Amino acid sequence: MATSLNVGEEAEHIKGDFVDLLTCSICFEIFKQPKYLPCLHTFCETCISSYIVSKAKGNNLKGFKCPVCRRFIPMGDNLKNPETWARSLPGNYFVVSMMDRKAMKKTEKLCDTCSGKNVSKEAISWCTVCEEAYCDTCEDYHRSYKMARNHKIVPIKDMHEETPISNSCASVTCDEHPEKTIEIYCKDHTQPCCTICATVHHRKCEHVVVIDKAVSGVKESKKAQELMNKLNETGKKLDGVIKKRNHYTTNFKKEIDAVLMEVANMRQKINEKLNKIENKIKDEINGARKENLLRLSEDSTELLTLKSKFDHWKNIFETCLSEGSELQCFVKLEEISRKIPKFEKDLSTVIQGIRDISVKFEATEIVSDTVRFGNLHYNEKRPSFLGLKTVNVHTEKIKVLFTIDIRGSFISGIFFNDDIIITDHDKKRVVNHEKNGKQTDKLNISKPPTDITKVNDCTVAVSSNTEKIFIINVKPLTLVKTLDSSVPLWGLCLVNNQYITARNGTISWLNAETGAKIKQIQTTSSDTRFVTSYEKGEYIYCKGGHTINFESDVGKGFQYNHSNLSNPYNQEIDKEGKIYVVGYGSHNIHHLTPTGELIQIIPVSDIDNTITGYPWVMRFKQNTNRFILTFNSWKVPVYVCEIE
The amino acid at residue 343 is: F
Yes or no: say if 451 and 463 are a contact pair by the CB < 8 Å rule: yes
pLDDT tens-digit readout, 471-513: 999 999 999 999 998 898 999 999 988 999 998 889 999 999 9
pLDDT for residue 595 is more than 70: yes
Which of 68-72, 366-370, 399-403 has the lowest average pLDDT?
366-370
Residue 353: DSSP 8-state: H
Domain boundary among 160, 188, 216: 216
Based on the domain organization, do 282 and 315 belong to the same domain? Answer: yes
pLDDT for residue 14 is more than 70: no
Based on the domain organization, do 420 and 513 belong to the same domain? Answer: yes
Q: Tell whether 118 is covered by a domain.
A: no
| Cα 453 to Cα 496: distance, rounded to the nearest angstrom | 13
Closest Cα partner for 617 from 462, 414, 428?
Answer: 414
Based on the domain organization, do 498 and 591 belong to the same domain? Answer: yes
What is the pLDDT confidence band of residue 75, given thresholds at 50, 70 and 90? confident
Yes or no: say if 626 and 589 are a contact pair by the CB < 8 Å rule: no
| Cα 210 to Cα 213: distance, rounded to the nearest angstrom | 6
pLDDT tens-digit readout, 287-317: 888 888 888 888 889 889 989 988 998 998 8
| Cα 407 to Cα 426: distance, rounded to the nearest angstrom | 9
Total number of residues shown for the chain: 644
Yes or no: say if 515 and 482 are a contact pair by the CB < 8 Å rule: no
Based on the domain organization, do 197 and 234 belong to the same domain? Answer: no
pLDDT at 508: 93
Based on the domain organization, do 374 and 423 belong to the same domain? Answer: no
Yes or no: say if 473 and 433 are a contact pair by the CB < 8 Å rule: no
Bridge partners for 643 per DSSP: 398
pLDDT for residue 129 is more than 60: yes
Q: Tell whether 253 is covered by a domain.
A: yes
- Give residue 319's domain range: 228-381
pLDDT at 213: 87
Q: Can you give the CATH number for the domain in which 202 is found? A: 3.30.160.60
Based on the domain organization, do 292 and 372 belong to the same domain? Answer: yes
Q: Tell whether 456 is covered by a domain.
A: no
Higher-scoring residue by pLDDT: 116, 393: 116
| Cα 471 to Cα 477: distance, rounded to the nearest angstrom | 10
Higher-scoring residue by pLDDT: 402, 61: 402
Both ends of the chain: CA-CA distance in Å?
41
pLDDT tens-digit readout, 137-166: 898 888 888 777 778 788 877 765 444 444
pLDDT at 101: 66
Based on the domain organization, do 260 and 340 belong to the same domain? Answer: yes
DSSP line for 202-256: STT-S-EEEHHHHHTT-TTSHHHHHHHHHHHHHHHHHHHHHHHHHHHHHHHHHHH
Yes or no: say if 202 and 193 are a contact pair by the CB < 8 Å rule: yes
- Determine the 3-state secondary structure of 182 from DSSP: coil
| Cα 19 to Cα 15: distance, rounded to the nearest angstrom | 8
What is the pLDDT confidence band of residue 79, given thresholds at 50, 70 and 90? low
Mean pLDDT of the chain, nearest integer: 83
Yes or no: say if 219 and 323 are a contact pair by the CB < 8 Å rule: no
Q: Which helix (H) or strand (E) holds 341?
A: helix 326-353
Q: Can you give the CATH number for the domain in which 70 is found? A: 3.30.40.10
What is the pLDDT confidence band of residue 33, given thresholds at 50, 70 and 90? confident
| Cα 460 to Cα 457: distance, rounded to the nearest angstrom | 8
Helices and strands (H, E) in the chain, number of each type: 13, 36
Based on the domain organization, do 437 and 370 belong to the same domain? Answer: no
pLDDT tens-digit readout, 409-454: 999 999 998 899 999 999 999 999 999 999 999 999 999 999 999 9
Residue 458: DSSP 8-state: S
Q: Tell whether 42 is covered by a domain.
A: yes
Q: Tell whether 553 is covered by a domain.
A: yes
Domain boundary among 151, 182, 216: 216
Residue 382: DSSP 8-state: P
pLDDT at 159: 63
pLDDT for residue 115 is more than 90: no
pLDDT for residue 10 is more than 50: no
Which of 106-115, 199-208, 285-294, 361-370 has the lowest average pLDDT?
361-370
Higher-scoring residue by pLDDT: 383, 26: 26
pLDDT tens-digit readout, 338-373: 888 888 888 888 888 888 888 888 777 665 555 666
Based on the domain organization, do 502 and 543 belong to the same domain? Answer: yes
pLDDT tens-digit readout, 165-177: 444 445 577 777 8
How far CA 320 is from CA of 221, 275, 330, 427, 504, in Å, comes to 14, 66, 9, 67, 71
Q: Can you give the CATH number for the domain in which 524 is found? A: 2.130.10.10
| Cα 72 to Cα 372: distance, rounded to the nearest angstrom | 47
Yes or no: say if 482 and 523 are a contact pair by the CB < 8 Å rule: no
Give the whole-number percent of the chain exceeding pLDDT 70: 84
Q: Tell whether 586 is covered by a domain.
A: yes
The number of angstroms, rounded, from the C-alpha of 297 to the middle of its chain's C-alpha atoms is 16
Domain boundary among 104, 121, 142: 104
Sign, CA torsion 216/221/223/226: positive
pLDDT at 584: 94
Q: Tell whether 409 is covered by a domain.
A: yes
For β-strands 125-127 and 132-134, DSSP reports them as antiparallel
* Single pTM value for the model: 0.46
Based on the domain organization, do 432 and 361 belong to the same domain? Answer: no
pLDDT at 11: 42
Q: How many domains does the chain have?
A: 4
Yes or no: say if 389 and 348 are a contact pair by the CB < 8 Å rule: yes
pLDDT at 449: 96
Closest Cα partner for 241 from 198, 331, 303?
Answer: 303
Based on the domain organization, do 305 and 338 belong to the same domain? Answer: yes
Q: Tell whether 143 is covered by a domain.
A: no
Yes or no: say if 205 and 188 are a contact pair by the CB < 8 Å rule: yes
pLDDT tens-digit readout, 551-561: 887 666 889 99
Based on the domain organization, do 232 and 210 belong to the same domain? Answer: no
Higher-scoring residue by pLDDT: 181, 470: 470
